[in-house]
A and B are shown apart, each in its own frame.
Chain A
């Protein structure tokens, strides 16, 4: 892999940019690997990357049904934060956030991490109490967050209407070191680094079945034939249920559609991320100037990557109330992704009933922010066969034991 640097740009500028190499190879699959990761999204690629970097396992294939980063990694609103209530969530999301800070240097790929600050508005007294509690919990967890006054909210984000007639802003949970990143670049950066370590990224290759012998996984049947492996990691978000069925077990997961949209680009008008969970919408401004907008999920199982129109209407209604300045903006693009929602709205990073088969799923509506931490924890699980401290609490048997990591209460809705 040729390193990207200012010298590389200068060198290529002198020779008509003829010397850039492809960021990753697209090889045909080998017959056998030490480990296979299914799913070349952010989480899958991060898993493979840390398998190589932290554990020295590089005979790895990453198999992708579509194209790299074309699922939820390319469909989210790129928010990065770690202001969670429960200790186990805070630990993994904070690990992820801290890895984002050095990711560009680590991968030699600009992921445009922008720690511009994330603000979660409190618009009911219940929310005020909830966020005060979260701020105290975060202080104990060593995560820098604070509860700020409406006046401070207005200073940080002047376009925000803090005196709305329905839900005036009563304060906010502010995480100054949260922010946004370039979602595609995260996938591309990991893919380039994985490929440089000798891993095979196999796109347009759908897994059709999981083979096992004596309760141990032996490989996967794909549209490019059988590929053998000693260890299998399933990291496929919305389609986790399908893969689990191939491997012979069921998950506590429902797949539903979540939509996002962007407006036409306008001049810079907000330099923080704002989440308004009571009215249910969140918004930030991209470097191109588009307002990046997200809202709630649909309430029914859906694999079509299309959401219901009334959710867009509800989200925009909420945001026009919160930011009156956007009322005449035109919306440019709208899309949907299939998110995997667990019973307690927390992810699963776990061993499975099938030996040497591991699963990482259930990130629901908030997976992007967790990519590096999730990959770090999943790689440790796959390499050692046992979960490390980050993944331990997220095992799939917690539902039987009643040891939920209950963030659906902690986070309200947006997650």
Chain B
């Protein structure tokens, strides 16, 4: 059972209290973008086996969206943070690197993220 701490209200919420929102930090491509960019934004997913950044909503709590850094291979949670950022904050990256030294953060300024 997954437990995530809501960064807004501080509640350690069980997953039954939360609504999942899948991959975080997607850069939005709207009208005017190429079909490839729009397809990648809408459908192509990292779906990594390992460190993953996700959107979650504290649905049965404060109702706010937040982001979580999690390992999809072990269900370990590295930390949660407010959603008003375009990339994971430095302290979260540090926490992940402490637990997964082999992990490369590789965040690109163009929003493509790892890889």
Contact = CB atoms under 8 A, between A and B. Distances in A.
A242 interface: yes
Given A241-B46, A343-B43, 16 more contacts: A242-B49, A245-B115, A250-B44, A251-B47, A253-B47, A254-B22, A255-B49, A299-B19, A299-B20, A300-B15, A301-B48, A301-B52, A301-B72, A303-B49, A399-B42, A400-B36
A102 interface: no
B48 to A, nearest CB: 7
A255 B44 contact: no
Interface string B14-55: 011001101100000000000110111011111111001010
A409 B35 CA distance: 24
Q: For the side of the interface on A, what is the size category?
A: 20 to 34
B85 interface: no
A301 B22 contact: yes
A252 B43 contact: yes
Nearest to B115: A245
A304 B74 contact: yes
A300 B44 contact: no
Main SS at interface, chain A: mixed
- Sort chain B's interface into a size bin: 20 to 34
A239 B72 CA distance: 12
Interface string A124-140: 00000000000000000
Contacts of A300: 2, 15, 20, 22, 54, 70
A299 B72 CA distance: 12
A310 interface: yes
B73 A400 contact: no
Contacts of B19: 299
B47 A241 contact: yes
A251 B39 CA distance: 11
B60 to A, nearest CB: 13
Given A301-B52, A302-B72, A251 B15 contact: no
A241 B15 contact: no
A309 interface: yes
A303 B76 CA distance: 12
B73 A304 contact: yes
Nearest to B40: A250
Contacts of A251: 44-45, 47
Contacts of B62: none
A242 B49 CA distance: 7
A69 to B, nearest CB: 21
Nearest to B22: A254
A241 B72 contact: no
B57 to A, nearest CB: 11
Contact of A343 (B2, B42, B70, B115): B42
B113 to A, nearest CB: 11
B11 interface: no
A308 interface: yes
B1 interface: yes
Contacts of A245: 115
Contacts of B46: 241, 250
B75 interface: yes
A392 B72 CA distance: 33
Contacts of A343: 42-43
Contacts of B45: 241, 250-254
Nearest to B73: A303
A342 B70 CA distance: 21
A254 B47 contact: yes
Interface string A325-364: 0000000000000000001000000000000000000000
Contacts of B22: 254, 300-301
A301 to B, nearest CB: 5
Given A253-B47, A254-B45, A399 B39 contact: yes
A302 B74 CA distance: 8
Contacts of A308: 1-2, 15
A399 B74 contact: no
Interface in A232-266: 239, 241-242, 245, 250-255
Which of A245, A301, A310 counts the most B-chain CB atoms under 10 A from its CB? A301
A308 B22 CA distance: 16
